[in-house]
Amino acid sequence: MTTLAQRHDGPGTATVPGPRRRLTGLVVALATLLILLVLSVMIGSTAIAPSVVWDALSNPSADIDQFAIRDYRLPRTVVGLVVGAALGVAGALIQALTRNPLADPGIFGVQAGASFAVTVAVGLLGVRGIGGYMWFAFAGALIVTLMVLALGSTRQGQSPVVMVLAGVCVSAVLGGAGSALELTNPDAFDAMRSWNAGSIVGRPLDLVWPILPFLVVALVLALAVSGSLNAMALGDDLAAAQGVRLTRTRVLAIIALTLLAGGATAIAGPIGFVGLMVPHVARWIAGPHQSWIFAYSVLLAPILLLASDILGRVLMRPSEIPVGVVTAFVGAPVLVALVRRKNASAL
Amino acid sequence: MNRNSSRRRGTAIAAALLSTTLVLTACGGDSEETADTAAAPQTRSVTGGNGTIQVPADPQRVVTIGNTTLPFIDMGGKPVGVTEVGASELALIPTDQKATFDAATNLGSSGDQVDMEKLAGLKPDLILAQLPASEFEGIKKQLEAVAPTVFWGLDVEWKALADGVSQAGDVTDGLGEQKAKFQEKIAKIQQTYSAIIGGTKFVNVDRWESSDPGTFSVADFGCVEIAQDDLGMNFPKAAAGEDPLGWTSLPYEQIAGLSKYDVITYPVDAAGQPKVSFAPVVATNTWKALPAVNSGRALGVFCPGNNSYGPVLQYLDSLDTALATLPAKQ
């Protein structure tokens, strides 16, 4: 039975689950996500009867409680789904690209770029409201990642190690410049305090739709390079011998992860641990196949994000805890437990 | 030998001259000190949160830190140095007061961020400060080394702060008149709207630039304290010892909970439009569906400040105008 469910995938890989276990796991993850989507609409800081929730979705009226469902809980559930999926796949991409299990989407300066752009928008340009500075965040993430890509390019092509170093350096510089601006501008400081917490509250769907096409394109790109990333996990030489075009794969992967992490950060602010933790769990369940890891990450990351958000709504009623705080609080110990497992997921 | 002898003689003469000069200088110093003492400015005693302080009777170079800036300017004071005030607050003060604020040297973003070198360079003869006590403790010695410093904690009621700032800063000229107008206005509102004040459940809501997206607060501090404490209006208030209600950010889905109140007050600008930071709340469907909003019992009230009589009188005028619309709608 064991041999049916598990098999070895060659050098450098541990015993990996078979297709049946992967598929079963995927179905379970999908079912869990569906349950959390329902719970996210049902549970909030205000107690609203299930019948009102049902009516709000099936028989809309001007009832004041129905607005709470349609205008706040439903959009925030969709935002949680979209942002979670984007962060999960971005995390899987960056870990595959750098062959570093500690890499997260912020390592190429995506979040630093987004945060710095928001600081400039608020502190120097007087932009107010999430709808105003969302596009600055997205542009900041894209520009900074392109900068890191350029700095990380050598004559031999893109080196993941050099790019990571460039990302860390650019992030440090932008972090310092952003802090200087925040400390001398109380308005920017206030805006960044809220932004840095990472939250999916108060993001209407109008803000999500314009970003969504970028995320869809990025997901397609990620799937397109998944086969090449599998080969690159064995080393550049072996991958090149198999016909993988290393530079093209890396550039496409970086574009995809920038769009995913930049889009998610633009909508919700920096949310930690999702992109770091979820790919580990995905690899633990699915083994080292990137397409499976991406599929799992698309489902598991929104599960983590929505579960954390629901917790954040009820832990401090009537107030709420931003989801970015909960993911860090929950994610850190879970990640420690995962990496201390005997069969911790390897790249 | 001769050369050494003449050098010794020269040294002795130089020493004698130097000694004479020092003695004369010392004598001169004494006489100047005596003259200074005779012309020393008179002082007064004022009491603040840091005890009884001797301050100049007629301070000329006043530095204001934290919440003392706008009250001091409102009373006619012209500080030489100030800490920053939020753009939203500055937008609400009269043009001449804004010009006074702009003319002062910016000493830092907040009380605990004061540039001490710049402060000392202004050579102030009085420092007025209202900020958290913990922050004041950190800078107390440095401030007191520069000039007499009068401090008030954040728990000091606005009328006591206004009195203290006016006395310490010697800007008492218009205070008596302002106080009389305030008492007159309070009496008029209480008399005119006694039935409404007695039997109405009010709630005051607010939202600030620093509020998280998608959140608002039931605010129990600021101008609403005057409506509550001086007019006796029934607004929700935090239990004794608890944090103010306004410190809790509520998600928009809790706007529906405002249905249980008869009248809602919310912040508007001088033109009567919802304050920019509060406008997103007014735009929600939940707000528009509230019974109080539908029946015209959501009152926009202008609050330019609540630390001195000038802005408080403007608030009371706005509240008076808003309450006047209620009987016809009820």
Nearest to A96 by CA among A105, A86, A85: A105
Alpha-carbon distances of B119 from B36, B68, B108, B141, B221, rounded to whole Å: 24, 16, 10, 13, 31
Domain-ending residue, one of B157, B173, B189: B173
- Fold entry, domain A105-270: ABC transporter involved in vitamin B12 uptake, BtuC (1.10.3470)
Question: Which residues fall within 8 angstroms of residue B283, CB to CB, at 6 or more apart?
Answer: none
Looking at the fold, whether B61 and B133 belong to one and the same domain comes out as yes
Q: Please check the confidence at residue B121 and state whether its pLDDT lies above 90.
A: yes
Q: Please check the confidence at residue B7 and state whether its pLDDT lies above 90.
A: no
> What secondary structure, in 3-state letters, does B188-248 show?
HHHHHCHHHHHHCEEEEEECCCCCCCCEEEECCCCCHHHHHHCCCCECCCCCCCCCCHHHC
Looking at the fold, whether B207 and B105 belong to one and the same domain comes out as no
Looking at the fold, whether B180 and B160 belong to one and the same domain comes out as no
Nearest to A311 by CA among A104, A107, A36, A95: A36
Range of the domain at B82: 43-173
Residue of chain A minimizing CA distance to B216: A319
- In a domain, residue B249? The reply is yes
| A218 in Cβ contact with A86 (< 8 Å) | yes
Q: Please check the confidence at residue B31 and state whether its pLDDT lies above 60.
A: no
Looking at the fold, whether B58 and B141 belong to one and the same domain comes out as yes
Backbone angles phi, psi at B264, to 5 degrees: -110, 135
Q: Which of residues B234 and A159 earns the better pLDDT score?
A: B234
- In a domain, residue B28? The reply is no
Looking at the fold, whether B150 and B294 belong to one and the same domain comes out as no
pLDDT tens per residue, range B285-324: 999 999 999 999 999 999 988 888 989 999 999 999 999 9
Looking at the fold, whether B306 and B322 belong to one and the same domain comes out as yes
Q: Give the domain ranges of chain A.
A: 16-79+272-347, 105-270
| A271 in Cβ contact with A326 (< 8 Å) | no
Q: Which chain A residues contact residue B254 at CB under 8 A? A: 45-46, 318
| B81 in Cβ contact with B104 (< 8 Å) | yes
pLDDT tens per residue, range B64-117: 999 999 999 988 899 999 998 887 788 888 889 999 999 999 998 877 788 999
pLDDT at A40: 93
- In a domain, residue B27? The reply is no
Q: Which chain B residues contact residue A201 at CB under 8 A? A: 212-215, 251
What's the rounded Cα separation, in Å, for the pair B137 and B151? Answer: 10
| B79 in Cβ contact with B72 (< 8 Å) | yes
Question: Which residues fall within 8 angstroms of residue A60, CB to CB, at 6 or more apart?
Answer: A66, A70
pTM value > 0.80: no
Nearest to A171 by CA among A105, A89, A101: A105
What's the rounded Cα separation, in Å, for the pair B11 and B21? Answer: 15
Q: Which helix (H) or strand (E) holds B54?
A: strand B51-56
The strand order across the sheet containing B81-82 reads: B105-106, B81-82, B62-66, B126-130, B149-152
CB spacing of B253 vs A319 below 8 angstroms:
no
pLDDT at B208: 87
B35 interfacial to chain A (CB closer than 8 Å)? no
Angle between helices A50-58 and A19-42 (to 10 degrees): 100
Looking at the fold, whether B198 and B268 belong to one and the same domain comes out as yes
- CA A140 distance to own-chain centroid: 17
- In a domain, residue B7? The reply is no
- Assess whether the previous peptide bond of B132 is cis (omega < 30° from 0): no
What is the average pLDDT value for chain B, to the nearest integer? 84
Distance from CA of B184 to the nearest CA of A (A): 38
Per-residue tokens: A13: 């890989």
Kindly give the parts of chain A with pLDDT less than 70. 1-16, 155-158, 186-187, 191, 339, 341-347
pLDDT at A49: 86
Neighbours of A87 (CB within 10 A): 32
Per-residue tokens: A98: 């750098």
Q: Please check the confidence at residue B270 and state whether its pLDDT lies above 90.
A: no
What's the rounded Cα separation, in Å, for the pair A289 and A230? Answer: 6
Neighbours of B95 (CB within 10 A): 7
What is the SS3 assignment for B51?
strand
What is the SS3 assignment for B303?
coil
What is the SS3 assignment for B84?
coil
Alpha-carbon distances of B85 from B106, B113, B278, rounded to whole Å: 10, 13, 19
Range of A294-298, B28-32, B158-162, B307-311 with top mean pLDDT: A294-298
In this prediction, residue B11 has a pLDDT band, given cuts at 50, 70 and 90, of low
pLDDT tens per residue, range B123-154: 999 999 999 888 899 899 999 999 999 999 98
pLDDT tens per residue, range B175-228: 888 888 999 999 999 999 988 888 899 999 999 888 888 899 999 888 999 999
Nearest residue, CB atoms, B254 vs list A45, A183, A202: A45
Residue with tokens 């995913």: A260
What's the rounded Cα separation, in Å, for the pair A278 and A86? Answer: 11
Looking at the fold, whether B155 and B95 belong to one and the same domain comes out as yes
CB environment B204-230: b (16+ within 10 A), e (fewer): bbbbbbbbbbbbbbbbbbbbbbbbbeb
pLDDT at B68: 93
- In a domain, residue B288? The reply is yes
Q: Which chain A residues contact residue B280 at CB under 8 A? A: 129, 202
Would the CA dihedral through B20, B23, B25, B27 be positive or negative?
A: negative
Helices (H) and strands (E) in chain A, counts: 16, 4
B295 interfacial to chain A (CB closer than 8 Å)? no
Question: Which residues fall within 8 angstroms of residue A207, CB to CB, at 6 or more apart?
Answer: A130, A131, A134, A267
Distance from CA of B134 to the nearest CA of A (A): 20
- In a domain, residue B26? The reply is no
Nearest to A187 by CA among A141, A139, A127: A127
Looking at the fold, whether B222 and B203 belong to one and the same domain comes out as yes
Distance from CA of A123 to the nearest CA of B (A): 12
Residue of chain B minimizing CA distance to A322: B212
pLDDT at B19: 47
- In a domain, residue B81? The reply is yes
Looking at the fold, whether B103 and B134 belong to one and the same domain comes out as yes
Domain-ending residue, one of B143, B173, B203: B173
pLDDT at A177: 87
Q: How many domains does chain B have?
A: 2
| A74 in Cβ contact with A41 (< 8 Å) | yes
Angle between helices A110-123 and A160-184 (to 10 degrees): 20
Domain-ending residue, one of B152, B173, B194: B173
Distance from CA of B209 to the nearest CA of A (A): 7
* Amino acid at site B59: P
Helix extents (H) in chain B: 2-39, 69-74, 87-90, 95-103, 116-121, 133-146, 158-168, 175-192, 194-199, 224-229, 279-282, 285-288, 291-294, 309-323, 326-329
CB spacing of A68 vs B284 below 8 angstroms:
no
Looking at the fold, whether B203 and B314 belong to one and the same domain comes out as yes
Looking at the fold, whether B134 and B257 belong to one and the same domain comes out as no
| CATH, residue B265 | 3.40.50.1980
What's the rounded Cα separation, in Å, for the pair A177 and A338? Answer: 36
Residue of chain A minimizing CA distance to B85: A186
Distance from CA of A92 to the nearest CA of B (A): 29
- In a domain, residue B188? The reply is yes
Interface test with A, best of B106, B254, B288, B294 (most A CBs within 10 A): B254
B90 interfacial to chain A (CB closer than 8 Å)? no
DSSP assignment of A186-254 = HHHHHHHHHHHH---TT--HHHHTTTHHHHHHHHHHHHHHHHHHHHHTT-HHHHHHTT--HHHHHHHHH
